[in-house]
Structure 1
Amino acid sequence: MYWYYDPTFLLLIPALLLSLWASITVQTRFARYSQLKSRIGMTGAQLARFILDSAGLYNVRIESVPGTLTDHYDPRTKVVRLSSSTYSSDSIAALGVVAHEIGHAIQDAKRYVPLVVRNTIAPVAQFSSNLAWVFFIIGLITGAFGLAQFGILLFSIAVLFTIITLPVEFDASRRALQILEKNLLMPTDELKGVKAVLSAAAMTYVAAMLTAVLQLIRMILIARRD
């Protein structure tokens, strides 16, 4: 009966609802504040270069990548990649997202401990996440409890990664707001828009962490039941 109806799936409902809400909210807020031009007078790419140079990070490059909200900082190559929705845009939403990614570059330069830890375990976490369920399901089917436990252990590493990600993302947003407010004197009404976008984005990471934690609890419950 377990294979047709698994009551432990109910554990994931709060996380799934939060994920849906966070996704809709970040898209809605980004769209809203993308319509409002910032009075700073810079595009996302110009802002990125200005902040990086001001921080002495002349070696960090800026590249444009396709997509919307595909912005990210690559610590391996020291490249800030800005999406087509932010690279040439001078909107409040775009500048907020760009400043957030520059916050990651500054974290990297200052060897911010949570970022260092996250970058260290990232390859292992990706590997663990992909294989965890394989070992777990094989263990359940064959009755090899050791394999199921190993799957749980692997998934625990992926959960740890999502937990460590939270302080990294919140700190990057804090740095972004500080830079925009103190260094670039962004008006209060625009800062309010940036905060709205970044807080919504932060909730997507909270949702991911909650989903991972509840999924781990679910795996443990299933293993104990079988």
Structure 2
Amino acid sequence: MPYFFWYDSTYILVIIGAVICMLASAKVNTTFNKYSAYRSMSGMTGAQAAERILNSAGIYDVEIRHISGKLTDNYNPTNKTLNLSDSTYNSTSVAAVGVAAHECGHAIQHQHSYFPLTLRSAIVPIANFGSTLAWPIIIIGLFFNGSMSAMLINIGILMFSFAVLFQLVTLPVEFNASSRALKQLETQGILGQDELKYTRKVLVSAALTYVASAAAAILQLLRLVILFGGRNRDD
């Protein structure tokens, strides 16, 4: 097996991706903690704000659930549940209300069959499959020669590409959900103008984590191409 598989200069791409993700994660946590100290003037909790937004959008078949953790909030389109974490569900902060509204944005996307959300849901199984098996298939390919090796390596790279595609499709989904959230918070009078500015900062910092994940995935894909692209041509 080639030495570069165990160590090579392209590891710098992995390190860059990891650093970007760590910085983005630190940013969202710092921003969320800062604006968690700002109680919303409406006094509504994240759960109450979510219920009002969903009802105002004509959505009555989504269950709001309390889950454990911090910033583990999510909307599950499969069983139509809006899951709010400990840091969001009972909190009256502008940060918590903003996060809850963001998840409502996903529910509204689902209601209107927002194409990027539909596409992301469709490629989830392929992306998970690809990210899990890409490296094993590439490693197997290294034990072969000629066209068989090139074919397996290319299949591995292609499979990882689906994981990258998932990250890219996630970006418009998340940005659109935040846009819908801010609009709902304003039109429903849940937050005032100054509070909306704080909430926007929370949602922007959260969106940066998805940008960071996409960047890291692209760097990983670039590393695969650099490592194995030349081998395919040589073979």
Please classify the TM superposition score into its range, dividing by the shorter chain length.
Answer: over 0.9
Q: Cα offset for 1:85? A: 0.9
Q: Cα offset for 1:173? A: 0.4
Residue pair 1:68, 1:85 contacting (<8 A) in 2 also: yes
| 1:1-226 map, 5 Å | 1-143=3-145, 144-184=149-189, 186-226=191-231
Please, which runs of 5 or more residues in structure 2 have no aligned partner?
A: none
CA distance in 2, matches of 1:47, 1:106: 14
Corresponding letter in the other structure for 1:162: Q
Percent of residue pairs identical = 49
Structure 1, residues 2-33: CA drift from partner, whole Å, max 9, x if none?
14431112223433222111100100111111
**What SS does the corresponding residue of 1:7 show, helix, strand or coil?**
coil
| Length-normalised TM-score, structure 1 | 0.96
Q: Structure 2 vs 1, CA of residues 47 and 65 (structure 1 numbering), >3 Å: closer, same or farther? A: same
Residue pair 1:140, 1:223 contacting (<8 A) in 2 also: no
**What SS does the corresponding residue of 2:191 show, helix, strand or coil?**
coil
- Following superposition, which runs of at least 4 residues in structure 1 exceed 4 angstroms of deviation? none
Q: Cα offset for 1:225? A: 3.5
Residue pair 1:100, 1:176 contacting (<8 A) in 2 also: yes
Cα RMSD after superposing both structures = 1.3
More deviation in 144-153 or 7-16?
Answer: 7-16
Structure 1, residues 92-139: CA drift from partner, whole Å, max 9, x if none?
110000000000000000000100100111111111111111101221
Corresponding letter in the other structure for 1:147: L
Corresponding letter in the other structure for 2:192: P
More deviation in 80-89 or 183-192?
Answer: 183-192
CA distance in 1, matches of 2:6, 2:87: 43
| Equivalent pairs, count | 226
Residue pair 2:57, 2:108 contacting (<8 A) in 1 also: yes
Residue pair 2:44, 2:190 contacting (<8 A) in 1 also: no
More deviation in 160-169 or 137-146?
Answer: 137-146
Residue pair 1:103, 1:175 contacting (<8 A) in 2 also: yes
| Length-normalised TM-score, structure 2 | 0.92
